Chain A
Amino acid sequence: MASEDEVSLLVIVVDVNPIWWGQQAQREPEFNLSKCLDAVMVMANSHLVMTRTNKLAIIASHCQESHFLYPNKHWKAGDVAGDEVSSGSGDGKYELLSVANDLVAEEIRNLMARTQVKGHQTDTLLAGSLAKALCYIHRVSKELEAGQDMKSRILVSSWFPFSSAVYFCIIFVQMSMGIFGLIIYYILQVVKAAEDCALQYMNFMNVIFAAQKQNILIDACVLDSDSGLLQQACDITGGLYLKIPQKTALAQYLLWVFLPDADQRSQLVLPPSVHVDYRAACFCHRNLIEIGYVCSVCLSIFCNFSPICTTCETAFKIPLPQMMKPKKKKLKTAN
């Protein structure tokens, strides 16, 4: 039972890469982007309903941009103009929910409408979306009234066919307004569909560490294939990583696993944490290795000994007949 002063902000990052959702729609018509968005909306509505002070943001992660589906720039929470609320208010729903849903739908329609096909940009800009989410959380935390706590998390929902797909991030930020101070819990839920993009690796890692510093949880709901980067993200920030066996039941998984916030999770029996593979990849072949050779000058990792480091061109002495002991690099668990 959160008190009046606790604010919880959830930011959901949804991967809406059209190329892959399009391919997915052709492969499995029963689960398409619309269904996914429906599930996300159920999740978002549930979150808003849990506590009056809960806040929400939804970011669509596209291959060309990261766009805020909710809240809209031009829309303020209290501003419920009668004309815009059309169908939603008809069923007596909590107005905030209907407004939110309509907004999201409109935004995604606009987003898809202005998609332009560009062949080289097929990867979802997940790192950028996460960065935007972090910035949003930071901004909201500054706008809180004195005496308000905020907890936030990011939910990344993604599914992973063989290459980049839709990252569906649900960022759940619970803002709790505490009487005695400002506690901000950030939870980013990332719903990921696409492959780990090699190009975004550095940015992604920076985002993860920034989230860790800010005590923002990153949860990940992976629809198709496992993503090592998201596993690391969840492990480092303390969130949950889940790979869903059944895509059609996405809403159920979201509500069961990702709706409770960090405090409540300790009381619940949730899927246990997965074993994270923290192995490094060698610079020459990009194989994941456990034991390798590290250049002492530039710290680049190789799987075989070579007398000259190819990155910094330092010459190393040829070892004596007894092979130089390979420096052990056990990177199994970095906890």
Chain B
Amino acid sequence: MFNVDRRLKFPSALILCLHYPACLLVMAALSEEVLLVVKRVRQRKQDGTLYLMTERIAWGPEGKDRFTVSHLYADIRCQKISPDGKSKIQLQLVLHTGESTTFHFANESTALKDRDAAKDLLQQLLPKFKKKANKQLEEKNKMLQEDPVLFQLYKDLVVSQVISAEEFWASRLKLSSVEHSLSNNSKQEVGISAAFLADIRPQTDGCNGLKYNLTSDIIESIFKTYPAVKQKYAENVPHNLTEKEFWTRFFQSHYFHRDRINTGQQDIFSECAKQDEKGLKSMVVQGVKNPMVDLLSLEDKTLDEGYGSLTVGPNSSKTVKENSNSAIIKRFNHHSAMVLAAGLRKVDAPSDQASETSSTDGNSRDSDFFQPPIKKVKLQEAIEYEDLQNGSGPKTIALNLKKSDRYSHGPVPLQSHHYSTSQDIINSVSCIQEEISCYKPCLTRVMPSSAASSAITALSPGGLLMQAGTQQAVSQLVPTDVQSELKHLYTAAGELLRHFWSCFPVNTPFLEEKVVKMRSNLERFQSTKLRPFQEKIQREYLSTNLTSHLDEMIQAAYNKFHAWQTRRMARKT
């Protein structure tokens, strides 16, 4: 018996030994924690084991220590399970790319349990990774939409298979993710519309019932504004009530309706009502911290006989109608206060101590400590105007220029002037004076006709002075569609060349591979994009050699590659 037992145990132990070392090996390679192992899972009619790890799900066939199927949770769009009645218990994973993998749980006794365990774990894990994948995709889409040049580049390079999408995004996403995270922190939070409850307009569904349309936005608003309701939700759903039932009860409860007369029933919301009352009372007690605002002076003053004013004392009895009116008013005030408080309540702990708004939320109790400083700050603000003070600006250091005449000297190189002696000067001046003293304009003989005609020749197109003008701008000779195509070629070539040149100096085997790949990419680019363009412009008789510079750049890249390759060969031999 003992032997039999041992013999029985041995195969299973052997299997375990076989599997766990494989698992360990794989673990060592991937350094991930294994969360769940399910044996006897068939995939494509092969027996094997399913492993669920922290970031991926993998399946390896029995007897082998490698995974043949491995999917990151981020790649999985959703999971599907076979309906309960079926004999085959299966779990299908659908990836973002559209492919699907099916696992068949073949362990007779525990198949259903295994499958459900796997499904539950996946259900918990998938949402975590889902956001990341979507976010990346969204980011990429946004980037492509915002920048038409990038979009064009993407079309030119990736869609036409010149380089792969990963290479394209490799250098770009890194930058944008940093910026994105920064901007995320400083993104403004959307406030809550004060009318969110009113937006849930009930619709009659034909037979004495009311249908309320609740969107997730509205639910979020309700939770944010009334944390008591959120608490109730967390307590009751999904243990006691389903979501639908919860909301039905919510709307049915008198808590929601106008007359907040506490009926004391087993309404789960009666507590909420009591909490609200308490909150409101505490809010009133705290009052407003701003010393400039005196709410208590806003009292109803009605006209008395003889047109004097009559202040209604606080102790006067009210009629029933007045009571219900005051109840509505109280609810309005409370609602508005909660909306404001929810909008101002930050996710992290409120660090700005000087804010008076922390006290408007009736449920916060730590604002009492900060009364004196707030009052002082408010008074200070009211008294002082920044503009009217002769504020001392930041301390500056005076600029001390020793040779400021240097600035006034223009960009004229110091040449040796033609110095004339004073005798020369006197001579010239006297000469001129003589000449001009008898100056009479003789406008009929201003210049000889030969001079005039040579001047005209020089000024005519092709003349001496007009040489520079014949170099018409290339942009005027080449049609615009050819120009835009050339621009696209330049951006695409620039991108490829940038990838290529960034590989040098080639230190790692990864860079080596990349260099070779980039060279083949460049060749491909040249043959698929550049040559047809060149042929096209040749056909259209555009004589200007538009692509010579592009050819030069690509040729330089080829030369560099060739040199590097020969050097590598020389080193190897």
Contacts and interface: CB of A to CB of B under 8 A. Distances in A.
Contact of B433 (A115, A195, A228, A269): A115
A22 B431 contact: yes
A256 B455 contact: yes
B409 A311 contact: no
A236 interface: no
B338 to A, nearest CB: 56
Interface string A258-287: 000000000001111010000111010111
Interface in B433-451: 433, 435-437, 439-443, 446-448, 451
A144 interface: no
Given A42-B446, A245-B458, A281 B413 contact: yes
B425 A249 contact: no
A45 interface: yes
A25 B432 contact: yes
Interface in A28-50: 32-35, 37-39, 41-42, 45
Nearest to A274: B468
A16 to B, nearest CB: 8
Q: Sorted from nearest, which 8 A-B pairs have the closest CB atoms? A: A22-B428, A201-B410, A162-B418, A272-B469, A249-B455, A249-B451, A281-B411, A252-B455
Contacts of B240: none
B432 A22 contact: yes
B429 interface: yes
A34 B436 contact: yes
B417 interface: yes
Interface in A2-16: none
B452 A25 contact: no
Contact of A248 (B403, B428, B447): B447
A204 interface: yes
B458 A35 contact: no
A23 interface: yes
Interface of A: 18-23, 25-26, 32-35, 37-39, 41-42, 45, 101, 104-105, 108-109, 112-113, 115, 117, 119, 122, 161-163, 195-196, 198-199, 201-202, 204-205, 228-229, 242, 245-246, 248-253, 256-257, 269-272, 274, 279-281, 283, 285-288, 297-298, 300, 310-313
B402 interface: yes
A22 B427 contact: yes
B459 A32 contact: no
Contacts of B414: 285-286
What DSSP secondary structure best describes chain A's contact surface?
A: helix
Contacts of A21: 428, 432
A311 B401 contact: yes
- Most-contacted residue by chain B among A250, A279, A288, A311 (CB, 10 A): A311
B406 A311 contact: yes
B429 A162 contact: no
Contacts of B408: 199, 201-202
Contacts of B461: 269
Given A18-B433, A271-B466, A310-B403, A248 B409 contact: no
Interface string B388-405: 000000000001111110
Interface in B307-363: none
A201 B412 contact: yes
A246 B439 CA distance: 23
Given A109-B437, A281-B410, A18 B417 contact: no
Contacts of A35: 446-447
Given A22-B428, A248-B451, 4 more contacts: A21-B432, A35-B447, A109-B436, A201-B409
Contacts of B447: 35, 39, 248-252
B424 interface: yes
Contact of A108 (B409, B422, B429, B436): B436
Nearest to B422: A119
19 contacts: A19-B420, A19-B425, A22-B430, A34-B436, A39-B447, A45-B443, A108-B436, A112-B433, A117-B425, A119-B425, A201-B409, A201-B410, A202-B407, A202-B410, A252-B456, A253-B459, A269-B466, A287-B413, A310-B403
Contact of B435 (A25, A115, A253, A283): A25
B446 A38 contact: yes
A109 B446 CA distance: 19
A19 B428 contact: yes
Contacts of B400: 312-313
- Most-contacted residue by chain A among B400, B402, B424, B459 (CB, 10 A): B459
